[in-house]
Structure 1
Amino acid sequence: MIPELLQSQKNFFKTGDTINVTYRKLVLQQLKMELIKRESDIIEALAKDFKKPAFETVLTETTVVLSDLDLMIKNINKWAKPKRVRPSLLNFPSSDRLYSEPYGQTLIIAPWNYPYQLAITPMVAAIAAGNTVVLKPSELTQNTSALLNNIIKTVFKPEHVSVIEGGVDVSTILLAQRWDYIFFTGSVNVGKIVAKAAAEYLTPTTLELGGKNPCIIDETANIKLTAKRIVWGKFLNAGQTCIAPDYILIHHSKKEDFYKAMKTEIEKAYTSEPKASSDFCRIVNKKNFNRLAKMLDNENCIIGGQTDAETNYISPTLIDEPSLDSEVMKDEIFGPILPVLAYKNKQDIETIISKYEKPLSLYVFSTNTAKARKIIETFSFGGGCINDTVIHFANHRLPFGGVGNSGIGAYHGKLSFDTFSHKKAVVKKGNWLDLPLRYAPYTGKLKKVKKLLKWL
């Protein structure tokens, strides 16, 4: 089935329909209308999958997708048009252009934590750039995956865009095929598997991964506001966000004030019984619940720590001073658990952060602009914020992606279009003049060439 589908997409790409910008814009407009019509279905599917609040679904999923669609539809003619580039004097006379050429057949593997948005946004970019798409949504969010399949079948020809549902076995078959581009969002471990499969055919990839994202709070920070913004950024989606703060590094003089402020802000957001709050998500499945619950064993849960295996509930939790060798400090947490470590000086911060691979995000809370800037410049990370969390994701003018272990490549806004486009360089040489300097024999020309090159 999969090889046959790929062949049909290859044949469709050869027809040139996806190259036609008018066609691209038309199908994106049709997709937008269908997504607007199905918003209540999307909200319902995510609520069934892991009790995601409607507000969070609209804020972090449906609105993001529609905004992305509007951007692509508005700019696709301009972005797809060949760009004139200043020619080199060495090639005089010539005119140079850069063509945005679609790769061809693309595979997009989406994660379960934002199963709608992180499936549709790269797909929209791939379509806008003129590619065919096979979308593999997560098997852990079955309701959303089934809905995506239904929506895509309604809007697109299968030879243009198709959804293939299934588990690891399906992903394995898909990765064994030859693609022109692979876009993967998920864990570091699976990202390595994708990279190995892509290497078989030297297939270009974008890998959106994760990591242990530090959140540094210095002695000058506004603790009340800091706590409010961390509660939102960390416990959004029950902490199942790749750019959520993964652990806190706080100046020792502010730790107790921070705990008091966090307790207040958690209760403001989710009441004193977050389990009963309609605004707090659940963990996506039993496997992830068990993984997170194990992290709480033998730890000092200064706030929260309650669990319910029947509903996959883990409360918003803060752990005081865990060992760096503990389960909660080994890998990315990806849940509503927040370790807090006190520091006394800059060296303490560097020692802890350097223990881990380069993170996807880093956050600094400080009213000392110079100190905050110094931290941002000292450490390598994908992206981040000063005096807030997560919000850098919202600006389509900023690239979103990791570095090193946290990912390869980036997207968002125009960069999404560029990610799915090969930039083809073309020089058109004039025939009315042909300078003899470059041609052999070279005797007596070396000094002239050196002199010419100085002016370039």
Structure 2
Amino acid sequence: MIDLKVADLPAFTHTPIDSISATHARVVEKFGTHTTRPLAYRLKQLESFYWALKDAEPALLEACSLDLGKSAYEAYLTEVGWVLNDIVFMHKNLKRFMKDEKAEDTSWTNWAMNPIIRKDPLGAALIIGAYNFPIQLSLGPLVGAIAAGCTAVLKPSESAPNAARVMQRVVEESLDPEGYAVVQGAIPETTKLLDCKWDIIFYTGSANVGKIIAKRAAETLTPVVLELGGKNPAIITASADPRLAARRLLWAKLLNVGQVCVSQNYIMVDRSILPAFLKELKQAFKEFQPNGAEDNEDYGKVINERQWQRLRDMLDSTKGKILIGGKTNKETLFFEPTVVQVEDQHDPLLADESFGPLIPILPVDNLDEAIRTANAIHATPLGLYPFGTKAETDKILASTRSGGASVNDAFFHASIPTLSFGGVGDSGTGAYRGRASFEAFTHRRSITTTPGWVEGLLDVRYPPFGAKKLKKLRGMTDLKPDFDRKGNRTGGGVWWLLGVSGSNK
């Protein structure tokens, strides 16, 4: 596959719906053979997967350009290189991740039973990818499933068909065909996949579709990981550095044309610093795009006409004032980064997640107003971006909730491949990346082994019961507090014993 090009692949076609049940049965049956559990099998799959992706790198970069207009630099940074590094990290650490764990704080009466936590694969996984980062958000979870010893079916986004075609070729030519498969398609194919009983479903995408998947999964008590989006706020206090805030938040909207689930959806700026911030924002535009966005090869396009029209409708419906940008081209799916000053938290640009290069600015009178507004617009966004002093940003973090946060930056927390990433509440459930990807597809199975020689200790559990056995049970199991009735620290069991002995004198 070293010389593979997108044009060499078959055209994007939907998987026949009547074949999906058989694909599901195949990966379920493969998991039932237990051959995916050994470390050697998992390492072999990761190794083969790595080199297949490496060989297909030019085609993957080309696909990202065709689907999203991504430059080779951006596609490698956020897609191909990301997944390659993820595989290497998992390969190096998998043996350690798989090791049994000793139970914490085991009492002497339980020590003999050797309580441990074993890492069992959950089983057959369904992974539903997204279009904005079609490689990373599809193959990243798949790496976790392979590492955990699961089998899996991947359903890439049909909105990024070229990336989906390349990924299918890579999976089919590198991974065990009995354990891993790709299903292509849209709503009918996804619906058929959800008709099947899975051991875990991993979905990345919108909250509306996430609700549908959660409901379908609940019908069969299937656990889910939902990586959704949200109306992510950025808050710029009066003490913030306007230049740093402008540059860092603008970068977040230029990357992938703002089609990033953790990108800020709106920026609240203290009125006292608003003129300085807008000045720095205009300067940053000149530095990042000296010839404008339309002639910038590092700036991509909106994924398709439907999403472009949605963004255009949002911009047309706002009551705010356009300060920067506003140019669009439906034929090329171009949408210029557009800064709009709004005066109302109910403005259409803030009411929904834009998932594009719209940059609403909402002036606020003080930090307390910003916090109240952030909590009112979306109580549990995927990301939160406070700019200001440590005291101010600590107050923001203590007074809000979010899946993650980057202080004095834009979604840097989401750019660290080994840092656990996930939403909370409306922005999702579960987490992955790095070790968390392994754990997302793993069941922590508690196990004890009771030897015959402890039967003398276990007589307390056998009837008949009485005061003598209760006293013995208390002595074996009761933990002594390290606090008194007023909450003062007492030193725990040692000081408790000293106190008892002193009171008897």
State the TM bucket, normalised to the shorter chain. Answer: over 0.9
Q: Residues 322 and 339 of structure 1 are in contact (CA less than 8 Å); yes or no, is this contact kept in structure 2?
A: no
Aligned pairs, number: 455
Greater mean deviation of Cα atoms: 57-66 or 129-138: 57-66
Looking at structure 2, the residues matched to 92 and 431 of structure 1 have their Cα atoms a distance apart, in angstroms, of 14
- Aligned counterparts, 1:50-449, within 5 A: 50-86=68-104, 87-91=106-110, 93-297=112-316, 298=318, 299-357=320-378, 358-366=380-388, 368-434=389-455, 435=457, 436-444=459-467, 445-449=469-473
In the TM superposition, residue 320 of structure 1 has moved relative to its aligned partner by 0.5
SS in 1 for 2:48: helix
Greater mean deviation of Cα atoms: 183-192 or 70-79: 70-79
In the TM superposition, residue 92 of structure 1 has moved relative to its aligned partner by 5.0
Looking at structure 1, the residues matched to 27 and 341 of structure 2 have their Cα atoms a distance apart, in angstroms, of 54
- Identical pairs, percent: 36
Looking at structure 1, the residues matched to 323 and 287 of structure 2 have their Cα atoms a distance apart, in angstroms, of 17
Give RMSD over aligned pairs: 1.4
Point out where structure 2 has 5 or more consecutive residues left out of the alignment: 1-18, 481-505
Looking at structure 2, the residues matched to 223 and 163 of structure 1 have their Cα atoms a distance apart, in angstroms, of 47
One-letter amino acid of the structure 1 residue matched with residue 175 of structure 2? F
Per-residue Cα deviation, 1:130-158 (whole angstroms, up to 9, x for no partner): 01110000000110011111111111233
Point out where structure 1 has 5 or more consecutive residues left out of the alignment: none
Greater mean deviation of Cα atoms: 51-60 or 181-190: 51-60
Taking a change above 3 Å as real, the CA distance of residues 222 and 206 of structure 1, as seen in their structure-2 partners, is same
Q: Residues 322 and 329 of structure 1 are in contact (CA less than 8 Å); yes or no, is this contact kept in structure 2?
A: no
Looking at structure 2, the residues matched to 53 and 268 of structure 1 have their Cα atoms a distance apart, in angstroms, of 18
Q: Residues 108 and 183 of structure 1 are in contact (CA less than 8 Å); yes or no, is this contact kept in structure 2?
A: yes
| Aligned match of 2:22 | 4
Per-residue Cα deviation, 1:343-375 (whole angstroms, up to 9, x for no partner): 112331133112223100000111x11111111
| Aligned match of 2:3 | none
Looking at structure 1, the residues matched to 78 and 210 of structure 2 have their Cα atoms a distance apart, in angstroms, of 23
- Structure with greater Cα Rg: 2
Looking at structure 1, the residues matched to 408 and 367 of structure 2 have their Cα atoms a distance apart, in angstroms, of 18
Looking at structure 2, the residues matched to 450 and 413 of structure 1 have their Cα atoms a distance apart, in angstroms, of 43
Runs in 1 of length 4+ with deviation above 6 angstroms? none
In the TM superposition, residue 322 of structure 1 has moved relative to its aligned partner by 4.6
Looking at structure 2, the residues matched to 345 and 254 of structure 1 have their Cα atoms a distance apart, in angstroms, of 11
| Aligned match of 1:15 | 33
Q: TM-score, normalised by structure 1?
A: 0.97
In the TM superposition, residue 396 of structure 1 has moved relative to its aligned partner by 4.0
Looking at structure 2, the residues matched to 88 and 36 of structure 1 have their Cα atoms a distance apart, in angstroms, of 50
SS in 1 for 2:339: strand
Looking at structure 2, the residues matched to 169 and 66 of structure 1 have their Cα atoms a distance apart, in angstroms, of 32
| Aligned match of 1:28 | 46
Looking at structure 2, the residues matched to 296 and 159 of structure 1 have their Cα atoms a distance apart, in angstroms, of 48
